[in-house]
């Protein structure tokens, strides 16, 4: 696991990464079995989203706040805002053409 944008956020990042990875492994395995119908998939996704919030939500929020504080302290918030204004992401970028395919 890599370090965070600020050394003081790194322990929270590692805690969140571990929580997310454990949750995601559990999400993927039964996801295939739950994909029989759209209702079943929706119910499964809702259940897993609630599970994520219970297990990792507070850790994520603590880490997010730490990163936001560090970004502001380093003056990166102004650069991020400038980048958003200069290049707003109003729609997803187009998919790049795969090698061997024509446009």
Residues 31-63 pLDDT 10s: 556 556 778 778 888 888 999 999 999 999 999
pTM for the whole structure: 0.71
H-assigned helices in the chain: 10-31, 38-73, 76-86
The predicted-structure confidence for 55-99, as pLDDT tens digits, reads as follows 999 999 999 999 999 999 999 999 999 999 998 888 877 777 655
For residue 6, give the nearest of 73, 59, 83 by alpha carbon. 73
For residue 7, give the nearest of 70, 78, 76 by alpha carbon. 70
Cα(95)–Cα(43) distance, integer angstroms: 30
């Amino acid at each position: 696991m890599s370090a965070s944008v600020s050394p003081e956020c790194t322990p929270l990042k590692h805690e969140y990464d571990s929580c997310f990875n454990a949750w995601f492994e559990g999400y993927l395995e039964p996801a295939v079995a739950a994909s029989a119908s759209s209702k079943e998939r929706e119910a499964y996704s809702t259940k897993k989203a609630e599970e994520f919030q219970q297990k990792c939500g507070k850790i994520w929020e603590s880490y997010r706040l730490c990163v936001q504080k560090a970004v502001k302290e380093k003056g990166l918030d102004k650069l991020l805002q400038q980048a958003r204004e200069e290049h707003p992401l109003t729609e997803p970028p187009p998919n790049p053409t795969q090698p061997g395919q024509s446009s």
